[in-house]
Structures are given as C-alpha cells and as structure tokens.
Amino acid sequence: MSEVFISYEDRDSDFAESLILHMKNNGNFVSEHEIFPSSEKSYTGIEQAIRNASLLLTIMTSAAKASETVTYEWIFALGAGIPVVTIVRQETELHPRLTMLPHFDFTDPLTPPWEALIEAIEGIVKHLEPHRVPTSHTATPSYIRMAITALDSANAEDRAGAIDNLAQTSHPVAVEALVGALSHPLQDVRTLAALARGNAGDIRAIPELLDTLRLRDEEISNEAIIALGNIGDATVAPQLVDMMHRRWDRSRYLIADALEKMGSAVVPILQNVLHEENTERKVWATQTLKGFGKAAVPSLIQALHDKERAVKVYAISALSDIGGLDAVSNLIKMLASDSEEWSIRSHAVEALGEIGDVSAVPGLILALSYNDDAIRRNAAKALRQIGSSAVPSLVETLGTAEGDLRRRINSLLKQIGTPEALSALNTKSRR
C-alpha cells in the first residue's frame, strides 16, 4: 500500500474528498495538508509527511496557484525527490516547472480522466517502489490488505507474520505482493518472501534465494537450498555445488536433494566434481549421482576408475541400485581386473548379485575359481540370487569342472533347487 500526499487549497476540499476516495479504493494511503493547518505554520509536520509519501498530488486551481502553502508543498516535494503529479481542476496557467511534470486535465466534470490518473500513479509508485502492490478496497480481502501494510512495519515479527499470511493463500494480489516484496528495502522481508515464493516453485525468487545462500544464518541459507530445489531450475546447480566449498555439514544432504529435483541436466556438473582432488566431495558427488538413475550411469562408470578406494566403493553401490547392461558389463570388467584389489572386486561381485542380470553369470562362475575366499563366497551368493536363470550356464560348466569348482557348482545347483538344477545333478551323478 503506497502513501500519497494530496496538496490542495481549502476551497477545493470537495474535489479533494472525491480524489481521496478514488485513491483509497485503489489501495493508497492518503495524507492531506489539512492535517497540518497553515495557520499554525506546521511546516515540520508537512515536510515529514511529504518525505514519507511515494508521490505528491497537487490540485491546481487559481486559488491553489496563489496559495503559499500549496506552492511550498510541491516545491518541497521536488526538492526531496518525491514525484509530483498535477491535477488541473480549473483553467489556470501552470508554473513552468509543473508543465514539465505529469499533469491531468480535470476541467471537464463530464469526462474526468480517473483511470488515466490512477494508472499513472501506479506506474510511478511501481517504478520507485517495486515492492508496492496496489490493492483495491472493494476487490481485495481485508486480511491481504492488512498483511501488505504490515510488510512495512517497524516490528520484524509483524513483517514475518505478514509474509506467512500472504504465503498461505493463492489469491493473485497476495502472490503479487510476495513477488513485489522480493524488491523490498528490508532484507528480512526480501528473504522471507523469496523462501515463500521459492517453495511455491516461482523462478522469480531465484536471485534473492541465491543472495540468501551467502548469509551467515545457516538455518535460513538451508531453507534457501530447499526452496531452490522446489523451484527445480538447473541453472542454479553450479552455485549450489560451489557452496560445498564453504559448507560441509547438513547442507550437503540438502544440496543433494535439491539437485536431484532439478533433473538430469545436473549430471554433467556433478561429473565435473569427480575430476577434483577432494575425496569427500567426490564421494558426495558419487552418492548424489545415484539419485539420477540411468542418466548418471556413464558418470558412475567413470568413478569406477577413480584412484580413491572410497569413490570406487560408492560408485559400485550406486550402479548396484541403478542396474542396467552398461553397469553390469563394467562391473564384470572390474571383477576380472587383476589391477584392482580383492576387496574392490568383491564389492563388484556383490553388486552383480544385487542387479541379478543373467549376463553376469559367466563372469560370476569364473569368480568361483578365484584365489580370494570373499570373492568366491560373494560369487556363489550372487549366483544364488540370480537363481534359475544361472542354471543353464552352471550345468554347462559342471560338465568340464573338476575338484573344488565342481563341488561348488554342485552345491549351488542343490541350493537353487529348481527341477532343471536337480535333474542336472542326477544326470551328472550317474555318469
């Protein structure tokens, strides 16, 4: 709600009352010079009221032109940087300075340009105070008008309450008020408005939310992370990832959740983190990539070749959850690689069992002969998890297997226990 100071000569009070009514119906608070009688020379009060106003409206007639008070008021407003709009109520020659400013001809009572005047006033106020929202008294619920007024309260709790009230309704004026509050001169109002609109998915809140990330208040900046996630715009992902250089606490989980909501466009940004030297950040990126599913598989395959063991382990775990042929083929390669330590290869075996794809069976059968006990156990477990789909390959291998490998395959076929598996055991035992 903007404040307008109306300057007029006393003989124009009837028109002033009509003007005041129009202004109030369009959501403007009105100050009048009559509150400060000229006879009392209350210039200090007049000056303060003008300074507090968004603009000054002067009703110009021959009497007003001759009035020292009216002249003083519009001249003071210009000196204070307050916009001045003139309403020409009676044919009179305007001061040269006023002719250079917006003025409206109200000399014809049959065609008063009220709409043009109100539109001009709203345009001026919007330009000077973008957080202001015009509210019609006849169309806007009173609780919304009161909340908009409270945005400018000197009490921080009142301002916060106003944001909360506006955020609880989808009324267009309330939404516009919150968007306008993103440009409010008070930081707390801007921040709270950004959180409210961000959680509603409004991209217009992004600039202020990014500023909020830089605040020392961890709770507020964490709320900003959540709001950015709710908006889901991937263009802010680099700023969130960069934030990890400054914050390493609960924020990393919130950032991961926010990035996941932004979709697969974030994957290349996380992949870039895998090229860094910081192990914790690479592990975090690997864990976060899991949430992107199939789109993250190429990046996770890259992470399988990282020099850090922890990164490899988390990449294996992520691929285990996502699955797919690309994941299986690369895990099989890792299992077969003599350059990998046994514990990493063992994790790969477990992952293959969790995925349960039959294409892994030949590699798992081969792992039954490896020299590492953990790998052999995990390979056997993985084959049991794959179950009946593994039986044909196990039966085929059983035909040529000897010693420990033969005993392990026999044991697996018994444990799988399908008719095909048991039949193969009976056939082999009769030979």
Q: Which two tokens stand for residue 324?
A: 């797919």
Burial class (CB in 10 A: 0-12, 13-18, 19+), 330: buried
pLDDT at position 35: 42
328 contacts 316 by C-beta, under 8 angstroms: no
**Residue 152: what pLDDT?**
85
CATH for 2-128, options being 3.40.50.1460, 3.40.50.450, 3.40.50.1980, 3.90.600.10 = 3.40.50.450
Chain position carrying tokens 């040269």: 96
Helices and strands counted in the chain (H then E): 25, 5
Q: Does domain 130-262 have CATH number 3.40.50.1220?
A: no
Q: Name the pairing type of β-strands 84-88 and 28-32.
A: unpaired
In contact, 153 and 22? CB cutoff 8 Å? no
| Residue partners of 194: CB distance under 8 A and separation at least 6 | 182, 205, 208, 209, 212, 224, 227
For residue 343, what pLDDT is reported? Answer: 94
Question: Under a CB-based contact definition with an 8 Å cutoff, are residues 369 and 333 in contact?
Answer: no
Q: Note whether 130-262 and 323-431 share their fold.
A: yes
Residues β-bridged to residue 7: 58
Handedness of CA 379, 383, 385, 386 (dihedral sign): positive
Q: How many CB atoms lie within 10 A of CB 257?
A: 14
Least Cα distance to 104 among 147, 96, 112 occurs for 112
User: For the chain, what is the largest distance between any 2 Cα atoms, rounded to a whole number of angstroms?
Assistant: 126
Per-residue pLDDT for the chain (431 aa), expressed as one digit of tens each? Answer: 467 899 999 999 999 998 888 877 766 656 555 444 444 446 788 888 888 788 899 999 999 999 999 999 999 999 988 899 999 999 999 999 999 999 999 999 899 999 899 888 888 877 766 555 655 545 788 899 889 989 988 899 999 999 999 999 999 999 999 999 998 889 999 999 999 999 999 999 999 999 999 888 889 999 999 999 999 999 999 999 988 777 667 788 999 999 999 999 999 999 999 999 999 999 999 999 999 999 999 999 999 999 999 999 999 999 999 999 999 999 999 999 999 999 999 999 999 999 999 999 999 999 999 999 999 999 999 999 999 999 999 988 988 888 899 899 999 999 998 888 888 777 755 44
Global model pTM greater than 0.85:
no
Torsion of CA 281, 283, 286, 288, to 10 degrees: -70
Q: Going by C-beta distance under 8 Å and a sequence separation of 6 or more, which residues neighbour residue 196? A: 163, 164, 166, 167, 178, 205
CB atoms within 10 A of CB 221: 20
All residues at 6 or more sequence positions from 271 whose CB lies less than 8 Å from its CB, including other chains: 285, 289, 299, 302
Domain ranges of the chain: 2-128, 130-262, 323-431
Which CATH class, in words, describes the domain spanning 323-431?
mainly alpha
